[in-house]
Structures are given as C-alpha cells and as structure tokens.
C-alpha cells in the first residue's frame, strides 16, 4: 500500500471523528483548546497503524497517546480482519488491558464514589465529611514529615463516624501509619515509589487511586491494577499547571468506554452546571477542589453538588 492510500485511510478516520475528537478552538469559559500535534516516529509499518498515527496526531493527541491509539487501531483491524475508520478503538484487548491477574489488584472501592472533595487540610476534610461529602482527599503540601503525619492522623480522626472515605494524596507512608482508607498518587509517583513499596500498599488492603491524563497513562495505571482511576483534567483549570491539554467531554466518554472495569473519577474544572454532561459519560464520581474551598458557604455548596450528582444518575 502506498503513501497516498495510507493518507486516504487517515483522512477517513479524521472525517468520521473530527467532530468529536478534532483539534479546534472554542470561545467559552469551559473551552477545551486542542491543536494538531507533530506525528511521532513510526514504530511499525502496517498501513492501519500508520494511518491512525497520522490521524490521531492531526486530531490533537500528544505523541504517546497517538502511538497508543495507533497500536490499538492496528490490533482492532487484526482482530476483525479489516480496517474500519468509523469505529474508534474502545476494546480493552486492543490496548493490552485484558488478562491481568485479579489476585494482584489493589483492594476494591465503590464504583460510585460520588462527590469527591479534594481538600488542603484535615480541618477541611472534617468539615466536608460532616457535611455529608461521601469521598474526601487530603492534599496537604509540606516537606516536614512530622507535620505531614500529624495532618494525616488528624484527617483520619476527622472522618470517624461520618461514613466518608478518606484518601491521602502522595504521603503513602503516613497514610499507612495512620490507617487511612486509601492513597491517591499521580503518574510521577509511580516512578518514585519502589515496586516493593507498591506491594506493601497492596498487601495492606489500603485502596489505591491513580491520576491519568490520556490513553498512555491509563494503560500504565492498569499495569498496577489500582482501586480506581482518575481522568482529567476534563476542563481548563488554574489550580495546577498541567502537562497535557484539557481532555474535553468526547475524550472523557471514550476513556470511560475503555476503562469501565474500574471505578472512575472525573476531575478538572468541573462546575455544578457541567455535572450532568460529565455524569452522562458514565463516570461514578466527580472530584472538585475550588468549588468547595472557594465557596462562600462550603456546606451549602457541598449539598448542592451532591444533589447535582443524584439528579444526573
């Protein structure tokens, strides 16, 4: 097959999927701005792979995600016996997500974690837990390990009797020592935490959540079989500098179709008015940060957001 035929295959993918996944500009407060990306060096020479690599790069997927999708598109064709430009890959087998040993998975957590408050201090954790927020995360930033341990222990104490599930961001040793329900880490932490320590966390029965920002990171997260996977940032956020562009609802929906074996948490710039659209993708939880801590009345806001969660089930 020559280059012009491969280009025609790529154009077929783009014609079918550009409306959903295409790189384009928006002009509203919740805009997701994506731009075409340089095509990475090809690792294979099959026509379907090359076409998908070209198309996904043009649709705005960064190099590692375009590569992951191109490999999946190739496997999809090998399974079906034909190239289908109309079907966006969403079969776990085509991404290498099948065949994991369930005995090596982390302890399970509810599929629907509900409203998930990401909070800066133990005081905030207790306040939102008492307000009825079902899942809370302590994201306490400090290099003072003694202060970290005190804050984590205070957070564990703060949720006692409330029914809230408490995850600790990053500080896994303190979380284990304090007996927290779960730990949440970013992708970079999977590089930092030694395999022996990951095994210690798994054997403890502590739940383990992992952040992801696209296809390649979801595949990587699956390799450790976490308790849940966070997907984001869905919309623009100024809370932290993101290495990847906001994902948008179409990508989020595609991620949910692929990763439905896990409890899923959507995060990133999700305001109350966007809850219905986000929940419609199938995620069981929406995480918020500023929506709670910057609210004039955080308890009332928490109640409103929980009602929005229920209204969209």
Q: What is the rounded CA–CA span in Å between residue 35 and residue 262? A: 30
Average pLDDT of the residues in 262-286: 95
pLDDT value, residue 30: 57
Tell me the pLDDT tens digit for each residue of 126-182: 999 999 999 999 999 999 999 999 999 999 999 999 999 999 999 999 999 999 999
Instruction: Identify the sign of the CA torsion 46, 51, 52, 53.
Output: positive
Checking if the pLDDT of 31 tops 90, the result is no
| Residue-by-residue DSSP string for 228-288 | EEEEE--S--SSS--SS---HHHHHHHHHHHSTTS-EEEESS--GGGHHHHHTTT-SEEEE
Residue 300 — very low, low, confident or very high, per pLDDT cuts 50/70/90?
Answer: very high
HSE at residue 295, side-chain half, CA atoms within 13 A, is 20
**Spatial distance between the Cα atoms of 124 and 96, rounded to a whole number of angstroms:** 40
Question: By mean pLDDT, which of 9-23, 209-223, 271-285 is the weakest?
Answer: 9-23
pLDDT band of residue 239 (cuts 50, 70, 90) is low
Taking all residues of the chain, what is their mean pLDDT, rounded to a whole number?
93
Please tell me the pTM assigned to this model.
0.94
Q: Give mean pLDDT, residues 226-231.
A: 98
Output the 3-class SS for 98-151: CCCCHHHCCCCCCCCCEEEEEECCHHHHHHHHHCCCCEEEECCCCCCHHHHHHH
Judge whether residue 278 has pLDDT over 90: yes
Q: pLDDT for 46-80, tens place per residue?
A: 999 999 999 999 999 999 999 999 999 999 999 99
> What is the rounded CA–CA span in Å between residue 308 and residue 306?
5
The answer, yes or no, to whether residue 226 has pLDDT greater than 50, is yes
Which residue in 250, 239, 244, 295 sits closest to 272, CA to CA? Answer: 295
């Amino acid at each position: 097959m020559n280059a012009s035929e491969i280009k025609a295959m790529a154009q077929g993918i783009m014609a079918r999927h550009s409306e959903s996944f295409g790189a384009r500009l928006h002009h509203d407060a919740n805009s997701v701005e994506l731009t075409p990306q340089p095509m990475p060096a090809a690792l294979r020479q099959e026509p379907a792979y090359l076409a998908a690599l070209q198309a996904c790069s043009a649709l705005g997927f960064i190099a590692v995600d375009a590569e992951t999708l191109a490999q999946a598109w190739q496997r999809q064709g090998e399974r079906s016996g034909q190239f289908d430009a109309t079907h966006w890959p969403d079969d776990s087998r085509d991404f290498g997500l099948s065949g994991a040993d369930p005995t090596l998975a982390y302890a399970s957590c509810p599929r629907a974690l509900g409203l998930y408050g990401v909070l800066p201090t133990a005081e905030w954790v207790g306040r939102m837990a008492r307000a009825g927020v079902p899942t809370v995360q302590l994201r306490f930033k400090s290099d003072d390990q003694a202060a970290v341990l005190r804050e984590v222990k205070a957070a564990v104490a703060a949720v006692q009797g409330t029914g809230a599930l408490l995850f600790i961001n990053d500080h896994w040793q303190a979380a284990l020592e304090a007996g927290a329900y779960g730990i949440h880490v970013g992708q970079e932490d999977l590089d930092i935490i030694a395999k022996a320590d990951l095994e210690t966390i798994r054997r403890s029965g502590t739940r383990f959540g992992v952040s992801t920002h696209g296809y390649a990171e979801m595949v990587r997260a699956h390799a450790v079989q976490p308790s849940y996977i966070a997907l984001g940032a869905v919309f623009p956020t100024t809370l932290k500098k993101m290495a990847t562009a906001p994902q948008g609802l179409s990508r989020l929906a595609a991620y949910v179709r692929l990763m439905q074996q896990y409890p899923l948490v959507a995060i990133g710039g999700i305001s109350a008015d966007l809850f219905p659209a986000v929940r419609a993708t199938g995620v069981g939880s929406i995480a918020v940060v500023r929506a709670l801590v910057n609210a004039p009345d955080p308890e009332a806001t928490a109640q409103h957001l929980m009602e929005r969660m229920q209204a969209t089930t």
